[in-house]
Structure 1
């Protein structure tokens, strides 16, 4: 992936096939195309089938199976209705009222009501996994009638944005068909969503990993031309995905390398789309063990990175990072751009007892297997460090192995540098800081292993400031980034991605929405041939 690097890949050789998994009607349309929409992805798709805790690659499928109260439109920077048709907030931002859409049914046939929606949100909060933190402000949820949800908050928060989150905001039926436990039901590849598609088959570990089928009675309807089935293929090699696109075996490739994307723009029968994203690549330094415990060494590695060379080499597929937060979100801060300074890197390494003329240093780094852009970063960094008497042992890994190593309870088994992408859970920068830099036990995505009460307190203030004082929130985000990146040097933001998609020319209606990274809302597409 690694797109977010929230994925856990499937171990090669293991295969689990689940068919007829969902209670929703799965059938071919009476008219229209019979071929499925085939999405080629460079890692496995499904890590976690539970909509409460899902926090990984499966977003590309889950956003077609489950729905939330609202959806964010990145093009207009506005929140739009989805399962809620309207909403209001009190002047103090602490009471929000949502009116639910009428006539919606879950794939198991049960009707959407305020009581069921409340139960799903409360279950997500209780399980406290994935992006459940987005609901931290919620004190109580009332259901005065079957169509109305009233949220009373502990502090002001932008609940319209929160309810549009790409993770953690799904509304689902908490009752498993047949009366068994929901978790066990979901883990077998079933779903209890309200979206236009439902799980038809799941082939864990296989190239064609997941198939979705049409939900006949979807509330959004099927008038006009639609894809009635969807396939997700795990294709690690970009050149293979490119050939499959050209031969018509796949419909959509989420990311090509710059050379292939440039080629795709000139191929008859294909379409391309480039969109600025909210997704960036970050190198996280191990502050808890190994040589990078020393802030001087961390600053030396920061100075050795060829940021400008990386952007140039990737030829328009990325832009320079200025801090952790990409442009377009509160917290984006100009003036934090980094540039390579090998002389300063050598000075700092010498100060720490390493570098030219002193003791050799060896650092370990893990990154995403099959990601050409990350490979470019690794190649440039390895070359720069070699000239500084530092050996970089870089290992490409499937995400499950990389993340497992990073989360290891044995500090001696962890890496020195962990490379992964990140993007917001809802259209605000809070997710970067809450997930990546706030202390956490056990380790999850805070792969710098930072444990700093002052940083934690600054992070915890952010949602209130965003809801009540945007200028102060902007200042707080800027100050926190300077603390983390300049003073403590716990990470190095490397670049911001420019999404470059290539897809079949017969697909109409595709619009990239960076608020839902790598998601294709297939029901919105209009296949023409």
Structure 2
């Protein structure tokens, strides 16, 4: 269902609570299902792009629906991937997590990492002819971070999760047409990475709720031809600015047209790419491993490009709702009763990474310290301690919502049956994602009602996205951000699904951001991870990757065949971004 943001336009002076109710559902689902700026690399050998041809069309099967093109639209994962053909961000992420300039040519910081100067590439325009410059970049960032919300509020249909994500920004200042400064409250050594995946939109798109949602105007290699909830068709932008850095005379994009079609069932996606009903299809290692494994055996028919296991879904134990997890013994009982090795073997067909930390082994904050392996005996001891401290309780029982999809329910039942071995009862509440996310990410009350949630959130090799998940609040108590008064108790803790209140973890996270060397930054982030694990605040189950499968008869070049900048490789397989400009049809 598409949000009716146009109704907000008429009431720019409405009360804060009314506004928050209007954006609540949108923010919730965006947070719950987005793999914002997640990373991946191709496991297959990439063919040379030297002989890449121009022209041709491609059809790509994805698993997420389209719901509009504004910042606050209910769009996630592979639907964002389709939209990335239209919208471009200031930066992208390299394989190692370093920023690569896309619309921006670079970023420099003050010695304390509190002031960043962003320099833009010249000669770039939106597809409606508007120049992309400092004014446009600042306009986008001010809308995203909620600066327009401060009375007299305007364009409230743009209000979304960026308010929390960019809570550290205090102001933006134009230097000239191609550069501006960003002033931060606290030091942030990785600030440019936080701008990766934030698509820039033309002023005309942002003008009204209707245009923002339905009329996408970006700088990207393609423009929208048509769209519905289940299909996005884009056609070549003839005035696109990029060229192949290895062949400077070759203008991008190489394809003329791409159709992204929604095929929710993984079995149907697998059949479609095998039979060439579609040219390419995305698959998630969280639920689609049976089909990925089968496709990998069909080497004469398809090519499978896969990412490492860079997605770390976790069990978030809520300390704030009156359930059992305000007691550390209850939390430690649960985290000691996760049979990760068998979950990976049985549910992920051995294709995932069996966790030894709440973060994957490639992440800067990865630490084994304080992490608890499967130990039913120890779990039972913590159950006994919990019951002794809570004489009114006769069992350690908690409830978790899971979607109705067969594979999701099977994941839930595996966990449920394992907990029985430790004397723990996990009740399965069947609720679709849109339902439980609307309650868990409640921007009106800031409350999280569920005992626990098993969902995504942690990802990547860098700390940017995970910072928000681990921190107690995105608006520190001493923040001078004028939005703090509006959002500290609602959007501020929204990513913190456990609602833990341990600010020593915040201190370690900010130390990581302020560090002048990667080694000292890593040490601080690892210390925060250790603290989270020792307190049983949350725990991992199994880490997974994504796969992009191409039918060989389609003769499409591999993702990532053409560099954004010569010598700098981006992630090739990523559910939310693919360099479609560089893919050709031979």
Length-normalised TM-score, structure 1 = 0.80
Residue number in structure 1 paired with 2:496: 446
Alignment match, 2:432: 398
Q: How far is 1:371 from its partner?
A: 7.7
Distance in 2 (alpha carbons) for counterparts of 1:228 and 1:156: 44
Cross-structure match for 1:13: none
User: Per the alignment, do residues 449 and 91 of structure 1 end up closer, same or farther by CA in structure 2, a change over 3 Å counting?
Assistant: closer
Alignment deviations for residues 37-92 of structure 1 (CA, whole Å, 9 cap, x no partner): 32321x3344x632478884343233222112222221x65433311234444555
Larger strand percent:
1
Q: Matched residue of 2:546: which SS?
A: strand
Cα distance between partner residues in 2 of 1:196 and 1:143: 27
CA RMSD in angstroms comes to 3.5
Contact 2:171 2:182 in 1 (8 A): yes
- 2:275 matches 1:241: no
Q: What is the distance in 1 between the residues matched to 2:447 and 2:106?
A: 52
- Correspondence for 2:449 among 410, 414, 419: 414
Count residues in correspondence. Answer: 486
Which whole-Å deviations, capped at 9, do the CAs of 1:165-199 have from their partners, x for residues lacking one? 22xx33332x226xx83444212x22231111233
1:165 matched to 2:214? The reply is: no
> Could you say which structure has the greater relative contact order, defined with CA pairs below 8 angstroms and 6 or more residues apart?
2
**Whole-Å separation in 2 of the counterparts to 1:183 and 1:158:** 35
Shift of 1:95: 4.5
1:462-501 equivalences in 2 (<5 Å): 462-465=512-515, 468-487=516-535, 489-501=536-548
Tell me if the contact between 2:137 and 2:200 (Cα under 8 Å) persists in the aligned partners: yes
State the 4+ residue runs in structure 1 displaced beyond 6 angstroms: 52-55, 409-413
The aligned residue for residue 384 of structure 1 is 418
Q: Summarize the Cα distance change of 1:215–1:396 in structure 2 as closer, same or farther, 3 Å threshold.
A: farther
Q: Is the 8 A contact 1:368 1:398 kept in 2?
A: yes
Secondary structure of 2:137's match? helix
SS at match of 1:497: coil
Give the distance between the partners of 1:385 and 1:97, measured in 2 at CA: 51
Match for 1:143 among 155, 158, 174?
Answer: 174
Specify the alignment match of 1:211 in structure 2: 233
Task: Give the CA deviation at 1:407.
Answer: 3.2
* Residues 65 and 195 in structure 1, CA contact (< 8 A), matched pair in contact too: yes
Q: Flag the 1:7–1:119 CA change in 2: closer, same or farther, 3 A.
A: closer
Partner SS, residue 471 of structure 1? helix
The correspondence for 1:181, drawn from 207, 226, 231, is 207
Aligned residue in 2 for 1:283: 315
* The one of 60, 63, 69 aligned to 2:84: 63
The answer (yes or no) to whether the contact 1:427–1:515 under 8 Å persists in 2 is: no
- Distance in 2, matches of 1:162 and 1:52, equals 20
Residue matched to 2:398? 363
Structure 2 spans left out of the alignment, 5+ residues: 1-28, 36-52, 150-158, 244-249, 474-487, 561-569
Quick one: structure 1 residues 322 and 430, their matched pair in 2 at CA, closer, same or farther if it must change by over 3 Å?
Answer: farther
2:333 alignment partner in structure 1: 300
* CA spacing shift, 1:78–1:515, aligned 2, 3 Å: farther
Going from structure 1 to structure 2, the CA distance change for 1:515 and 1:254 (only over 3 Å counts) comes to closer
Cα distance, 1:492 vs. partner?
0.9
Residue 438 of structure 1 deviates from its aligned partner by 1.8
- Unpaired runs of 5+ in structure 1? 9-29
> In the alignment, is the contact (CA less than 8 A) between 2:329 and 2:383 conserved in 1?
yes
Structure 1 contact 434–459 (Cα < 8 Å) conserved = no
Does the 8 A contact of 2:559 with 2:583 survive in 1?
yes
In 2, distance between residues paired with 1:301 and 1:394? 15
In 2, distance between residues paired with 1:451 and 1:376? 33
Task: Please state if 1:255 is matched with 2:284.
Answer: yes
Residue 124 in structure 1 maps to residue 144 in structure 2? yes
Distance change >3 Å, CA 319–CA 303, structure 1 → 2: same
Give the deviation of 1:515 after TM superposition. Answer: 9.1
Distance 1:224 1:461, change over 3 A: closer
The answer to whether 1:521 aligns with 2:551 is no
